[in-house]
Amino acid sequence: MTAKRNRGLTEQAADTAVDQACRMLRLPTIRTQYPELADAAVRDQMT
């Protein structure tokens, strides 16, 4: 029997994780565009 784990992140934790990943992978363009891309994704899901 397996138990489900809740691995959800807070919005701030997710933003920080993306920022750190972009720094490590040297993706400055994605890092700067991420807030706008995330907002657009949220808007698209709500329609």
pTM of the model: 0.68
Phi, then psi, of 5 in degrees rounded to 5: -110, 140
Evaluate whether residue 15 is within a structural domain: yes
Alpha carbons 31 and 20: distance in angstroms, whole number: 9
Locate 20 and state its tokens. 């750190």
In tens digits, what is the pLDDT along the chain, a chain of 47 residues? 555 555 688 989 999 999 999 999 999 999 999 999 999 999 998 75
Evaluate whether residue 18 is within a structural domain: yes
Write the single-letter amino acid at 34: Y
Evaluate whether residue 29 is within a structural domain: yes
Evaluate whether residue 4 is within a structural domain: no
Residue 6 confidence (pLDDT): 58
Alpha helices (H) along the chain: 11-24, 28-46
Question: 23, 31 in Cβ contact below 8 A?
Answer: yes
How many folded domains does the chain comprise? Answer: 1
